[in-house]
Amino acid sequence: MDAKSLIIELIVGFVALFLMTKILGKVSLAQITTFDFISSIVLGELVGNAIYDNNVKLNSILLSVAIWGLMIYIIEWFTQKFRGSRSFLEGKPSIIIRNGHIDREEMKKNKLDLDELQNLLRQRSVFSIREVAYAVLETDGSVNVLKKSKYDITKKSDLNVPQKPVYLPITLINDGEVDYENLKEAGLDENWLFNTLREHKIDNAKQVFYLEWKKDEGVFLEKM
């Protein structure tokens, strides 16, 4: 394939994909669903093979994009017309924290572990699970959070209230496993942890799904 043909096919492929994206009404990659993600991969593969395969002509690129674009359009139309198909084709949001408690079953269904959940919450400026009343895992993989009322209040600067020190929460038990490094970093020891578990009528760390400690608020714990 000579340079001229390659350039033309690259431009045509780019324009075709761009126009199809506009026609289908995609607004942002951040809002991509599972079906959109699959579509993007397939379209990229179709155009890529068409461009770099000498036996594939320019009209093949356009035909590939047009057929796949039509299929996507039909699916989008179908989900608009029939609401029941949306959860199957596009997925549906999952409530992973409900009334301040982690829903382990929903986390399992969505293949989500505690480390990933904490990462998603930090992206929403939430540094402790105890602050969350409800957390919803959206179909695009992001999390939206409704904070508990005592954490979702007017800024202290607006009320002229003196500022207090701010502390980060430290995870001490994650899915039944004690994080001894974090325990040491917090200035605590096994005796303190054992006594804390006993106060909550827990005999073993294996019975704890999640436990965090914060200097100004103490312990937050979720049982298995």
pTM above 0.75, yes or no: no
pLDDT of the residue at 80: 73
**Residue 46 pLDDT > 70:** no
What is the SS3 string spanning 76-127? Answer: HHHHHHCHHHHHHHCCCCEEEEECCEECHHHHHHCCCCHHHHHHHHHCCCCC
Spatial CB neighbours of 50, under 8 Å, sequence gap ≥ 6: 9, 13, 56, 60, 61, 64
**Residue 61 pLDDT > 80:** no
Question: Considering the chain, what is the average pLDDT of its residues?
Answer: 77
Least confident residue range of 9-13, 20-24, 207-211: 20-24
The 3-state DSSP class for residue 143 equals strand
User: DSSP characters for 145-175?
Assistant: EEE-TTTS---HHHHTPPP------EEEEET
CB of 132 closer than 8 Å to CB of 102: no
**Residue 27 pLDDT > 50:** no
pLDDT of the residue at 50: 62
Spatial CB neighbours of 151, under 8 Å, sequence gap ≥ 6: 131
Count other C-beta atoms under 10 Å from residue 100's C-beta. Answer: 15
CB of 138 closer than 8 Å to CB of 92: no
Least confident residue range of 71-80, 122-131, 133-142, 167-176: 71-80
Long-range CB contacts (< 8 A, 24+ apart) of 200-208? Answer: 205/173, 205/176, 205/177, 205/178, 206/176, 207/176, 208/173, 208/176
Q: Which amino acid is at 137?
A: L
Structure tokens, 11: 């431009």
Q: Is 185 exposed, middle or buried (CB count within 10 Å of its CB: 0-12, 13-18, 19+)?
A: exposed
